[in-house]
């Protein structure tokens, strides 16, 4: 990991959002902190790489100029204060479903990040303060840590990091939450509402963990869910199961170890399979296609989520496919459509492949058809189940 971080450091000492991006405070600060947590010294790195990174941070105003994502992540490890963050209230989880701010109406990626982050914000969780954290507080700020004006820092953001300026509505709403709602949440009876919201958030986190085999929706969500489990009880089995699946996201390349945010095994497999069939290379790749068909077969979701899954913002998914592997559990409409397309392509090469490779589909197709209220009997099943009232689709 250290090698990967150093390999993608920009000439000015910072890091960008991607390997070709200009340096921004979010990535520079988080990469610098990561290097220090991984054992690098303040003067470490080839040709003073750590010194250059720290100089870039301080020359651009220190970490108070980091964007909201960074403020929250640094708060978790004690390098920033929650009072310097715009509120992420968990009480939104208690809103009625007919309101636009209800969590179930959010895009799935936004929702699965919001829930654990709201839990951690609601608890104001901070990891134990160590000597390394105290040292980093001295390295990352242009003024003593104890003298930082966190109220002002709440809306501070380096221009390079500001992808979209805050709207007036967003600014007013954040201020109302910050100055009115948050202080009230510590007082009875509003504190009881906060406790109920935190309990709801943890229930959703646990359900998501179990439904996805602790792979979760993606790597960012996984890290937040792990920290939320640690914040609740560092000895619980859920945290151990999370740790066991961490290697699923790690891979080593020529530039070092990196993290795969979201797997796409099924997505890649169906397109490669279609390409081989469309290129009339079934004779040359017969063995490969048989293995691909078997993988696609094993990747189909065979049962719906357990219990009252709709109350946890999940949908019925039996018979669908995910973007990655079956255990991940999140059905995707276009992945399902492409997997079905492979089935139709199969008939073009059945002379060279054993027809028994896809017998598994028949029993599940019957179950799919039984759900359909319209004539679009295959792909329409999955698309219809995910369609919003405004005619859009969700994951």
Q: Given pLDDT bands bounded at 50, 70 and 90, which one contains residue 293?
A: confident
C-beta of residue 215 within 8 angstroms of C-beta of residue 223: no
Q: Which of 237, 283, 327, 334 is catalytic?
A: 334
- Can you give the pTM of this predicted structure? 0.84
pLDDT digits (tens, 9 = 90+) for 213-251: 899 888 889 999 999 999 999 999 999 999 999 988 898
**% pLDDT > 90, the chain:** 46
- pLDDT at position 378 is 41
Euclidean distance between CA atoms 39 and 384, whole angstroms: 51
- Region 286-298 average pLDDT: 87
CA distances from 68 to 30, 80, 145, 166 (A): 12, 11, 18, 12
- pLDDT at position 355 is 46
Euclidean distance between CA atoms 260 and 100, whole angstroms: 32
The residues of the chain that CATH labels 1.50.10.20 are 61-253
The DSSP symbol for 85 reads S
The H or E element that residue 365 is part of is helix 360-370
- pLDDT at position 178 is 87
Question: For the domain 61-253, what is the CATH code?
Answer: 1.50.10.20
pLDDT digits (tens, 9 = 90+) for 45-79: 878 889 999 999 999 999 999 999 899 999 999 99
- pLDDT at position 347 is 62
- DSSP-assigned states of every residue in 183-208: HHTTSTTHHHHHHHHHHHHHHHHHHH
pLDDT digits (tens, 9 = 90+) for 333-371: 889 989 988 877 766 565 455 444 445 445 444 444 443
The DSSP symbol for 29 reads H
- Annotated catalytic, 233? no
Euclidean distance between CA atoms 250 and 203, whole angstroms: 27
């Amino acid at each position: 990991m250290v090698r990967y971080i150093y390999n993608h450091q920009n000439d000015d000492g910072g890091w960008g959002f991607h390997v070709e991006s200009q340096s921004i405070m979010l990535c520079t600060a988080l990469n610098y902190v990561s290097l220090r947590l991984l054992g690098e010294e303040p003067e470490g790195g080839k040709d003073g790489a750590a010194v250059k990174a720290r100089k870039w941070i301080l020359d651009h105003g220190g970490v108070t100029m980091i964007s909201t994502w960074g403020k929250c992540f640094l708060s978790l490890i004690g390098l920033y204060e929650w009072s310097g963050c715009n509120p992420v209230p968990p009480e939104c989880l208690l809103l009625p479903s007919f309101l636009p701010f209800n969590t179930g109406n959010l895009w799935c990626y936004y929702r699965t990040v919001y829930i654990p982050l709201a839990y951690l914000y609601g608890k104001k969780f901070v990891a134990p303060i160590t000597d390394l954290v105290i040292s980093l507080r001295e390295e990352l700020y242009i003024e003593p840590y104890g003298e930082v004006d966190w109220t002002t820092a709440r809306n501070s953001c380096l221009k390079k990091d500001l992808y979209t300026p805050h709207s007036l509505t967003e600014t007013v709403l954040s201020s109302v939450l910050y100055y009115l709602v948050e202080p009230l949440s510590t007082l009875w009876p509003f504190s009881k509402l906060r406790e109920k919201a935190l309990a709801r958030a943890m229930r959703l986190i646990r359900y998501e963990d179990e439904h996805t085999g602790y792979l979760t929706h993606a790597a960012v969500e996984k890290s937040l869910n792990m920290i939320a489990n640690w914040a609740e009880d560092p000895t619980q089995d859920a945290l151990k199961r999370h740790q066991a699946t961490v290697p699923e996201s790690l891979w080593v390349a020529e530039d070092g170890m990196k993290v795969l945010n979201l797997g796409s095994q099924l997505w890649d497999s169906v397109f490669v399979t279609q390409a081989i069939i469309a290129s009339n290379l079934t004779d040359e790749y017969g063995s490969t296609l048989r293995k691909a068909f078997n993988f696609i077969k094993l990747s189909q979701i065979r049962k719906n989520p357990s219990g009252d899954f709709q109350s946890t913002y999940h949908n019925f998914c039996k018979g669908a496919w995910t973007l990655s592997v079956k255990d991940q559990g999140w059905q995707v409409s276009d992945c399902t459509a492409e997997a079905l397309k492979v089935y139709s392509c199969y008939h073009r090469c059945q002379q060279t492949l054993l027809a028994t490779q896809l017998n598994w589909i028949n029993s599940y197709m019957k179950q799919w058809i039984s759900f359909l209220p319209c004539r679009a009997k295959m792909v329409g099943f999955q698309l219809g189940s995910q369609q919003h009232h405004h005619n859009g689709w969700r994951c």
